[in-house]
Amino acid sequence: MGKKKVLLTGASGSMGGEAFKELLRRRDKYDIVILLRPSAKNKKAFEPYEGQAGLKIVWGDLCNFEDVLEAVNGVDHVLHPAALIAPEADKNPPLCSRINCGSIENLIAAIKQQPDNGDNVRLVNVCSVAAYGDRLPPIHMVRVGDPLKPSVGDFYATTKIIAERSVIESGLKYWASMRQTYIAIPDALSLMDPIMYHQPLNTHIELITSEDAGYGLVQAVEAPDEFYGRIYDMGGGPSCRVVFSDYMARMMELFGLGDYRKIMSPNWFAIRNFHCCWYEDSRVLNEYLGHWRHTLEDHYRQVEEAIPWYLKLGGSIAPAFIVRGVMRRMADPLKWIESNDEEKIKAFFGSREAWENIPDWDYYVDADSGEKVEAGREVPHLIDDVRELAESRGGQCLSEDSGDINGKLRWRCGFGHEWEATKRLLQAGHWCPECAAPPWDYDSKAKADPGLAKIYYNNHSENESQCVEYLYCPNE
Ligand SMILES: [Zn+2]
């Protein structure tokens, strides 16, 4: 048997870059194809590989079908981590939609043009934890099957949901989708960004190092057939779980900035409407891919090694009030409060009063000893009965379940919209395409959808009302 041929998209990204390195380590087993935009940066980084045996570079655009077809022709596997991510994604919603939804449609269509309707090509799609939206305690344990609830204004997440829907409903014989958690890269300087303040201090994060993410993606090439036709949560496992306030404390320490409580205040941070969680079922994927290699401590070590010497020095000589001034200037939520930006205040706090009542640091330090959920407990089964499944979302299944997992059934949501979808799609937390954000109007949706209500009313009240088409761009 000849070598397997693997197409990788997004080789210039953080996950794709590590996957590319991993593929290079396995060149004796695989022939590699990468599809890259011919930007000056990509040209410089990847030209050294051009012309090498067993490695083909297609210079092109994922939004251009001809380019995608050229890349897909003759491959056995397609690994697709490429995406336009925040903040670029939020700055340009139409472009984000074109790249994140258009690329997967092109890949699916190109696979279908392969021999036997593409039945011998295996597609792995990378989705995002952002699809779940905010899942703050006590509902911070997440599993596939939970309703998808992208945060208000998170346009990127909505495109990843649409893309995943396309994959699940593609009719391809072999597909899988992995909902990727926060990818922790060694360059922690990139954390020093206004977006860190959009994240509630009690956010639970199960991170994954970029190396483990890339390794896991490539491991999928070796996965058995039963791996396909499923949706997974991809995280680093229990040893990579942390609460955001603890994570930040450690980062500040690594940067030599000292006690973070002296340089920041809790009310610089949003109290809801971000994303991240601990995955109750990420071990399912690890059983296939064996990608749980690094721990949180390994990540901290990588960060420490990557900190430039002058920064360490700067941290030790700059007085706390100067550091505080720099950090405060980045705190977006304070700007929303100062400019009385009502929609953002609603989305991220609920009300100005809620912001005014944000407790002091002691609250968060004490909260730390709170309930921690044990890893490894039994993962609940997905709802199999179609009527029960529809009722869990306040809707109905209008078809008889034929038992064919790829069969399309007809569904109706609590607002009377009707659509066709496989049972598997809805089992994975997707629901009515017409009700899906944007616009974000969970306050009315939750009243007709008990599944959504269960998670939404964790930190919203039934008296709230917000409906927005577009909310913000981080870093604006
Ligand atoms: Zn609907």
CA of 354 to the centre of ligand 1 (A): 31
Would you state the pLDDT for residue 269? 96
Helix or strand (DSSP H, E) at 301: helix 296-306
pLDDT beyond 90 at 270: yes
CA of 23 to the centre of ligand 1 (A): 42
Give tens-digit pLDDT for 205-216.
Answer: 999 999 999 999
pLDDT beyond 80 at 430: yes
Q: Residue 190's pLDDT band (boundaries 50, 70, 90)?
A: confident
- Which one of 251-255, 260-264, 321-325, 396-400 scores highest in mean pLDDT? 396-400
CA of 228 to the centre of ligand 1 (A): 29
Q: Report the residue count for the chain.
A: 476
pLDDT beyond 80 at 282: yes
- Cα 37 to Cα 48: distance, rounded to the nearest angstrom: 16
Would you state the pLDDT for residue 93? 85
Helix or strand (DSSP H, E) at 17: helix 14-25
Would you state the pLDDT for residue 473? 64
For the beta carbon of residue 369, count every other beta carbon within 10 angstroms. Answer: 7
Least confident of 278-287, 362-371, 436-445: 362-371
- Cα 442 to Cα 452: distance, rounded to the nearest angstrom: 8
CA of 196 to the centre of ligand 1 (A): 33
pLDDT beyond 70 at 317: no
Least confident of 118-132, 180-194, 349-363: 180-194
Would you state the pLDDT for residue 70? 98
pLDDT beyond 50 at 374: no
For the beta carbon of residue 15, count every other beta carbon within 10 angstroms. Answer: 27
For residue 392, give every residue at least 6 positions away whose Cβ sits within 8 Å of its Cβ, in sequence order, or none: 383, 450, 451
Average pLDDT rounded to a whole number, residues 35-47: 96
pLDDT beyond 70 at 222: yes
Average pLDDT rounded to a whole number, residues 183-208: 89
CB 473 within 8 A of CB 91: yes
Tokens standing for residue 38 = 């011919």
No. of helices (H) and no. of strands (E), the chain? 21, 16
Three-state DSSP state, 132: helix
CB 126 within 8 A of CB 184: no
CA of 436 to the centre of ligand 1 (A): 7
> Does 384 or 76 have the greater pLDDT score?
76
- Cα 164 to Cα 96: distance, rounded to the nearest angstrom: 15
Three-state DSSP state, 233: strand
pLDDT beyond 90 at 405: no
Tokens standing for residue 417 = 């919209």
CA of 115 to the centre of ligand 1 (A): 38
pLDDT beyond 70 at 366: no
CA of 254 to the centre of ligand 1 (A): 48
Would you state the pLDDT for residue 375? 45
pLDDT beyond 50 at 369: no
CA of 63 to the centre of ligand 1 (A): 29
Q: What is the percentage of the chain residues whose pLDDT exceeds 90?
A: 79
CA of 427 to the centre of ligand 1 (A): 16
Q: Which residue do the tokens 């396309």 mark? A: 166
CA of 421 to the centre of ligand 1 (A): 13
CA of 87 to the centre of ligand 1 (A): 29
pLDDT beyond 80 at 371: no
Tokens standing for residue 125 = 């799609």
Q: What is the percentage of the chain residues whose pLDDT exceeds 70?
A: 94
CB 15 within 8 A of CB 42: no
CA of 435 to the centre of ligand 1 (A): 4
Residue 87, preceding peptide bond in cis (omega within 30° of 0): yes
Would you state the pLDDT for residue 327? 87
Give tens-digit pLDDT for 152-161.
Answer: 999 999 999 9
Identify the sign of the CA torsion 425, 144, 179, 77: negative
Would you state the pLDDT for residue 94? 87
CA of 417 to the centre of ligand 1 (A): 5
CA of 426 to the centre of ligand 1 (A): 13
For residue 71, give every residue at least 6 positions away whose Cβ sits within 8 Å of its Cβ, in sequence order, or none: 7, 9, 33, 34, 35, 58, 60, 110
Measured CA to CA in angstroms, residue 247 lies from 194, 196, 202, 206, 445 at distances of 16, 11, 10, 11, 34
Average pLDDT rounded to a whole number, residues 320-331: 86
Q: Classify burial at 360, counting beta carbons within 10 Å of its beta carbon; exposed 0-12, middle 13-18, buried 19 or more.
A: exposed
Give tens-digit pLDDT for 438-450.
Answer: 999 999 999 999 9
- Cα 4 to Cα 219: distance, rounded to the nearest angstrom: 13
CA of 393 to the centre of ligand 1 (A): 10
Helical spans, DSSP H, in 113-176:
155-168
CA of 453 to the centre of ligand 1 (A): 15
Under DSSP, the state recorded for 472 is -
- Cα 353 to Cα 348: distance, rounded to the nearest angstrom: 12
Helix or strand (DSSP H, E) at 328: helix 320-329
